[in-house]
Amino acid sequence: MADPALDRRAFMAGLAASGIAGALPAAAQSDAPFTFDSVVALARARAESDFDDSRQTPAGLFADLDYDGYRAIRYRADRRLWTGEGRGFTVDLLPPGSIYADAVRVSTVVDGVAIPVPFDPTVFEFDPARFALPEGGLRTEDGAGMAWTGFRLRFPINRAEVEDELLVFQGASYFRAIGRDQAFGLSARALAIGTGSPRGEEFPVFTDFWLHRPEPSATEMIVHALLDSASVAGAYEFVVRPGAETVLDIRAVLVPRRSVDDIGIAPLTSMHLFSPLDRRGVDDFRNAVHDSAGLQMLSGAGERIWRPLVNPEMLEVSTFIDRDPVGFGLAQRNRSFADFSDAEARYGKRPTAWVSPRGSWGPGGVMLVEIPTETEFNDNIVAFWRPEAALEPGRPLELEYRLYWGEDAPDEAPLARVMASRGGRYVNDPTRRTIVVDFALAEAGADGLELHAEAGRGEIEAATLTPLPEAGMVRAALRFRPPEEGGAELRIQLRDAAGAPASETWLYRWGPG
């Protein structure tokens, strides 16, 4: 095998002749092996200078594209990174255009050597019905001044002969993944700043990616990324393991430029238009429309919590105070076609995403932001961890977590789980509400279960627990008299004969409207 350092110097000499090398990050130009520490060094250096917005202006065929026009551009299968090499993973690089204008530098890492991949428009196929290609076709130089906007990772997750889309990084610090036999739905982000705050939100961006070439027949792959924003620079490592559930092991070092007290760690972003719990004002043939049904949590004290999501009348921000959380995520538990009756979107195939912290995350809280929306094409749900302590310059924050994408969260506790939440006007009395929560029974069954229900405001006038043996569930039903003004927090839990929790804790913020 050739000396990587010699290969590196020869490669850099060629780039210097073309004028490209000067644009590369300093760590990418070093002869030292490229590792996560290289990215950390870059993040520290970035934090010592002002933030440079890396947005670009797409030109030529990539200019002025709408959503459909952008989707009419395809990466050529024969130009995918590592195609035909038997490494398990291949990569599509993504073009600028439409809403995607963040300029992203992409490099591969081979034997410790980072090798930039310059933007090249000839790797794309353009729908001839939408695009008028220049005579003789596109040339590499037609992409001068433009950059990639992200990448799509492929892996044969369903069938050995098909390179399925597995993981996509594109737009700010957004990324999304799927497990086996699933469709893309909710997204994750590397970092959230100011989400739901009056001052407005700041969106950190990934400016650089390093894709480590997998070994032959690999079942995992490493991606390094450099994050930047007006407030924080950061280094990220993603170890990707596809499967029935796709797992990302993530570690990060965040280097603040200023004091930041409204940070969001491991943010998840999803869409919730309506469900049987919040159909007020809905005129739609479908039973529900959402990528995620609820916020699921396992607190540091061991309490399992389910908070059904809603599309609120006004912005809603909820905080669940905790210390050293075991996990949290946005979950899709409705899996049958009848749950949605949508033959196109197939919301029942959208993944659950679950964050499992590594090490101590200390005091803080899981925050849930619910934003009003009138369309299913807007993500209006955000969940993340907010540490109690602010980020301060000179004190980098190091963190690790595992992020699962699959049908369910990795929790095997033998407790009854919320499967459906419904609400509506009480029969013959519009001043009361009926609240119904169906729990899937654990192995112990329904014998001896007791219903405990509380309302922070208003009054629970009646509460019943009814077995549904044909469905393997038990139904908790409340007759609730709302307060005269404002909303109310509701809480339901099933307990066994000894008073111990026998179910998740169902939490819900009822509001008028």
Measured CA to CA, the distance from residue 282 to residue 279 in angstroms comes to 5
Q: Taking residues 447-457, what's their average pLDDT?
A: 94
Identify the CA nearest to 480 among candidates 505, 498, 463, 493. Answer: 463
Per-residue pLDDT reduced to its tens digit, 53-64: 878 999 999 999
Measured CA to CA, the distance from residue 165 to residue 346 in angstroms comes to 17
Question: Can 4-175+203-251 and 417-510 be said to share one CATH topology?
Answer: no
Band (12; pLDDT cuts 50, 70, 90): very low
Task: Give the DSSP letter string of 380-406.
Answer: -EEEEEEESSPBBTTB-EEEEEEEEEE
If you average pLDDT over every residue of the chain, what do you get? 92
Q: Are 307 and 295 in contact (CB under 8 A)?
A: yes
Band (29; pLDDT cuts 50, 70, 90): low
Tokens of 121: 């428009």
Band (44; pLDDT cuts 50, 70, 90): very high
Q: What's the residue count for the chain?
A: 513
Per-residue pLDDT reduced to its tens digit, 318-336: 999 999 999 999 999 999 9
Q: Taking residues 347-364, what's their average pLDDT?
A: 98
Q: Are 90 and 154 in contact (CB under 8 A)?
A: yes
Q: Which of 4-18, 135-149, 498-512 has the lowest mean pLDDT?
A: 4-18
The fold of 417-510 is Immunoglobulin-like (2.60.40)
pLDDT for residue 396 is more than 90? yes
Beta strands 113-116; 187-189: pairing state: unpaired
Q: What is the pLDDT of residue 162?
A: 95
| Phi, then psi, of 336 in degrees rounded to 5 | -85, 155
Percentage of the chain surpassing pLDDT 70?
94
Q: Taking residues 427-434, what's their average pLDDT?
A: 91
The fold of 4-175+203-251 is Beta-galactosidase; Chain A, domain 5 (2.70.98)
Torsion angle (degrees, nearest 10) of CA 21, 22, 28, 32: 90
Side-chain-facing half-sphere of 508: CA atoms under 13 Å: 29
Measured CA to CA, the distance from residue 124 to residue 121 in angstroms comes to 6
Which helix (H) or strand (E) segment is 228 a member of?
strand 221-228
Side-chain-facing half-sphere of 425: CA atoms under 13 Å: 7
Side-chain-facing half-sphere of 457: CA atoms under 13 Å: 12
Which helix (H) or strand (E) segment is 349 a member of?
none
Per-residue pLDDT reduced to its tens digit, 177-190: 999 999 999 999 99
Q: What is the pLDDT of residue 513?
A: 66
Q: What is the pLDDT of residue 373?
A: 96
Percentage of the chain surpassing pLDDT 90?
86
Query: What is the residue extent of each domain of the chain?
Result: 4-175+203-251, 263-389, 417-510
User: How far, CA to CA in Å, does 5 sit from each of 15, 30, 114?
Assistant: 15, 9, 11
Q: What is the pLDDT of residue 28?
A: 47
pLDDT for residue 38 is more than 80? yes
Torsion angle (degrees, nearest 10) of CA 311, 317, 323, 325: 20
Measured CA to CA, the distance from residue 158 to residue 406 in angstroms comes to 13
Measured CA to CA, the distance from residue 190 to residue 6 in angstroms comes to 35
Measured CA to CA, the distance from residue 268 to residue 191 in angstroms comes to 9
Q: What is the pLDDT of residue 11?
A: 37
Band (251; pLDDT cuts 50, 70, 90): very high
Q: What is the pLDDT of residue 323?
A: 98
Q: What is the pLDDT of residue 23?
A: 42
DSSP state of 214: P
